[in-house]
Amino acid sequence: MVVRFLKMFASPKKTFKIGDEADVTDKEAIKLVRAKIAEPKVKKAFDALLKKEEEAKAKALEDEKKVLAIQRNAELKKELEVLSDEILKMLDVLSSDDPAFSKKWLDDISSKLNDIG
């Protein structure tokens, strides 16, 4: 992208005076324009570049949210497995005391766990 310098600017390879134009990378153009060191030669092209950058950031954020949701879902499933195991251990204790009560309780819990899982 071609930019026109508004201020003097020195890069490692060259020094630019006010009014000089240079073809720079898109990333560098964004940095220079945001820092008010340069302006884009073609404003429409720069606006399109900014829009493209914003879309890429939005997509990256959405992808990150999806990954976090998947990770959280896996964590919740693991917690559910642990809790289910603990409930089954409790049922073993209950079943030895009152089999009819434990059967009803097991059916209720199984139904609730199926709704969750």
DSSP the chain: -EEEESS-EE-SS-EE-TT-EEE--HHHHHHHHHTTSEEESSHHHHHHHHHHHHHHHHHHHHHHHHHHHHHHHHHHHHHHHHHHHHHHHHHHHHHHH-HHHHHHHHHHHHHHHHHH-
The pLDDT value given to residue 85: 83
Range in 5-9, 52-56, 81-85 with the lowest mean pLDDT:
81-85
29-45 pLDDT per residue, tens: 999 999 999 999 999 99
pTM: 0.53
pLDDT tens by residue, 41-79 = 999 999 999 999 999 999 999 999 999 999 999 999 999
pLDDT for the residue 8? 94
Structure tokens at 110: 């199984």
pLDDT at site 97: 65
pLDDT at 46: 93
Q: Identify any residues that bridge with 3 across adjacent strands, giving them in sequence order.
A: 22, 40
